[in-house]
Amino acid sequence: MESRTYIELVRRVLAVESEVRERSADEVTDQLSTYSPAQAAALATLLSAAAASEEDNSALEAELHAILELMSTGHVLPQHVSQLQEIRIEELSAEIREYVADLLGD
């Protein structure tokens, strides 16, 4: 992916507004084949950090889904998403808990 496009996507993934973060996480999955291995790993790391501090359930679900899709590329390693361990799963819906468990290999 071209650097300018990638940086703009990263900015939206880290936006203040939860609606923007949610839409941007969805955009991440639409472009899986365009990322270099380094871009995929970096996006997964950023999304993992964002998810660990996410307060909006819809945005969290979109972020987790994007991470799962990025992992399917083979360029994302468990250490790239280690921040997910900070998520308090007991406060989440069963569906989102499953996402976290799948991502952490539990």
Taking only the tens place, the pLDDT of each residue in 46-57 is 999 999 999 999
Length of the chain: 106
* Residues 3-26: b if buried by 16+ CB within 10 A, e if exposed: eeebeebbebbeeeebeebbebbe
Residues 57, 75: Cα–Cα separation, whole Å = 26
Q: What is the mean pLDDT of the chain?
A: 93
Residue 106: the pLDDT is: 64
Instruction: Name the 3-class secondary structure at 78.
Output: helix
Quote the pLDDT of residue 52.
94
Any idea where the domains of the chain sit in the sequence?
A: 3-104
Please give the Cα distance from 39 to 67 (Å, whole number): 12
CATH placement of domain 3-104: 1.25.10.10
pLDDT value of residue 99: 79
Is the confidence at residue 102, as pLDDT, over 90?
no
